[in-house]
Amino acid sequence: MYRILAAIGDDEDRALEQADAIADLPDSDSEVSVTLFHDFTDNPAGASVHQVAAVRRAAERLEADGIEVHYAESSGPAAETILETAAEIDADLLCLAPRKRTPTGKALFGSVTQQVLLDTNRPVLVCGAGGPDGENDAGE
């Protein structure tokens, strides 16, 4: 079984892009298990990963393609929690969908995707949602 950790944010389009990319992998319907992960930065109401619309949409898409879906959630620095969860499930692949940011924005605010790429030895699949004109509108 090939284990994938898909870090899902709040953007449903990016989540569906990730689900599509995973479903397009070879043997995804029989040999792939996906853990949909959401990191809560602010969760005073105690929401669950199952309540995140983007996670639900990705799960629906993956399950429709016959892919086994699991769930994980955390609260903390996103890059760290992604890497910790990947280690916990012994992920074979990480799937991320970064936000489009200007170079200045990346320098000022950092990038979760960039940090994960720098700090992991696992393969990372980076997906981007295409905008109406074909531009990459991916978010993080």
Q: What is the CATH number of the domain that holds 62?
A: 3.40.50.620
- Give the model confidence (pLDDT) of 103-121 as tens digits: 665 554 458 888 999 999 9
User: What parts of the chain have a pLDDT lower than 50?
Assistant: 108-109, 129-140
Indicate whether 112 belongs to any domain. Answer: yes
What pLDDT is recorded for position 12?
A: 95
Number of domains comprising the chain: 1
Indicate whether 91 belongs to any domain. Answer: yes
What pLDDT is recorded for position 119?
A: 95
| Vertex 64 angle, CA 61 and 66, to 5° | 115
Query: Residue 16 sits in which domain range?
Result: 2-126
Indicate whether 87 belongs to any domain. Answer: yes
107 CB-near residues (< 8 Å, 6+ apart): none
Q: Give the whole-angstrom CA distance, residue 136 versus residue 37.
A: 23
Indicate whether 131 belongs to any domain. Answer: no
Q: Give the whole-angstrom CA distance, residue 102 versus residue 80.
A: 23
Indicate whether 26 belongs to any domain. Answer: yes
CA dist 1 to 64, 91, 117, 125, 135, Å? 19, 10, 23, 18, 34
What pLDDT is recorded for position 87?
A: 98
What pLDDT is recorded for position 106?
A: 57
Amino acid at 112: V
What pLDDT is recorded for position 80?
A: 96
Indicate whether 132 belongs to any domain. Answer: no
For residue 64, is it left (φ>0), alpha (ψ between -120 and 50) or beta?
A: alpha
What pLDDT is recorded for position 107?
A: 54
Indicate whether 139 belongs to any domain. Answer: no
Indicate whether 78 belongs to any domain. Answer: yes
